Amino acid sequence: MDLENQKRVKEFAEKYGAENVVVILGAAEGEAAGLAAETVTAGDPTFAGPLTGVQLGLTVYHVCEPEVKDEFDPAVYDDQISMMEMVLDVDDIIDEMSSIRDEYCKYL
């Protein structure tokens, strides 16, 4: 995850409390989604950014995961996301995301 965004995520977690913050990703593939999810839960795996060694344990989902998709207005989802969803490997993304959440999320 981009270093500037890591800094922002850290500041929001401090400002609002980590239990009140949810991160939603739009990554194109499972591996990138998993890396970003790991960054906001267990800390930056590349040891480069402000979240290195910081275990925020934030709740994190990819926008195409069924748990959050169920909460969106279906018309808005159809309009904004469904075209791109067709070209993503959603099963791979779900696998990556759920294993990171099971291991590191503190507020589920």
Partner 1 sequence: MAILKDKKVVIIGDRDGIPGPAISACVESAGGEVVFASTECFV
Interface contacts to partner 1, rule CB under 8 A: 1-2, 5, 8-9, 12, 16, 20-29, 32, 36, 59, 61, 63-64, 67-68, 71-73, 76-77, 79-81, 84-85, 88
At residue 78, the 3 state secondary structure works out as: helix
* Shortest distance, position 94 Cβ to partner 1, whole Å: 14
- CB within 8 Å of 24: residues ≥ 6 apart: 60, 61, 62, 63, 68
Q: Please say which residue, 47 or 75, places its beta carbon nearer to partner 1.
A: 75
Helices 30-41 and 90-104 sit at what angle, rounded to 10 degrees? 20
Least CB distance from residue 64 to partner 1, whole Å?
7
* Shortest separation between residue 87's beta carbon and partner 1, angstroms: 9
Q: How far is the CB of 53 from partner 1 (least distance, A)?
A: 20
Tokens representing residue 69 in the block: 């998709």
Token pair 């969106």 is at which residue? 72
Q: Which is nearer to partner 1, 31 or 103 (CB)?
A: 31
Cβ atoms of 92 and 30 closer than 8 Å: yes
